[in-house]
Amino acid sequence: MSEAKLAPIPDLGQLGNTITIYAGPCSVESQEQFDEVAECVSDLGLRWIRGGAFKPRTNPHSFQGLGEDALKIMKSTGERLGLLTLTEVMDSAHCELVHSYVDGLQVGARNFQNFSLLKKIGQVTAESHKMVLYKRGFAGLIDEWLAACDYLNDCGNENIVLCERGIRTFEKATRFTLDIAAVPVIHKLSVYPVCVDVSHPAGQRDLVPSLAKAAVAAGADSLMIEVHPNPPAALSDGPQQLTPAQFRVLVEELREIAAVLGKEVV
Ligand SMILES: O=C[C@H](O)[C@H](O)COP(=O)(O)O
Ligand SMILES: C=C(OP(=O)(O)O)C(=O)O
**pLDDT score at 16:** 80
- For residue 206, pLDDT over 60 is answered with yes
Give the chain's count of helices (H) and strands (E).
9, 9
Q: Is 205 in the pocket of ligand 2 (CB under 6 A)?
A: no
Mean pLDDT of 239-252: 98
- The span from the CA of 57 to the CA of 183, in Å, is 27
Average pLDDT, rounded, for the chain = 95
Q: Is 88 in the pocket of ligand 1 (CB under 6 A)?
A: no
Strand, helix or coil for residue 19:
strand
- The span from the CA of 257 to the CA of 266, in Å, is 13
**pLDDT tens digits for 3-31?**
444 444 444 344 589 999 999 999 999 99
The residue whose C-alpha atom lies closest to atom 5 belonging to ligand 1 is 57
The residue whose C-alpha atom lies closest to atom 1 belonging to ligand 1 is 26
The radius of gyration of the chain from alpha carbons, rounded to an integer in Å, stands at 17
Burial class from Cβ neighbours inside 10 Å (0-12, 13-18, 19+) for residue 191 reads middle
- The span from the CA of 149 to the CA of 161, in Å, is 10
Q: What percent of the chain has pLDDT above 90? A: 94
- For residue 1, pLDDT over 60 is answered with no
pTM passes above 0.90:
yes
- The span from the CA of 107 to the CA of 121, in Å, is 9
**pLDDT tens digits for 140-149?**
999 999 999 9
**pLDDT score at 3:** 47
Give the distance (Å) from ligand 2 centre to CA of residue 108: 5
- For residue 87, pLDDT over 70 is answered with yes
- The span from the CA of 136 to the CA of 43, in Å, is 30
Give the distance (Å) from ligand 2 centre to CA of residue 83: 20
Q: Which of 204, 225, 236 to mutate to test the pocket of ligand 1 (most atoms within 8 A of CB)?
A: 236
- For residue 69, pLDDT over 70 is answered with yes
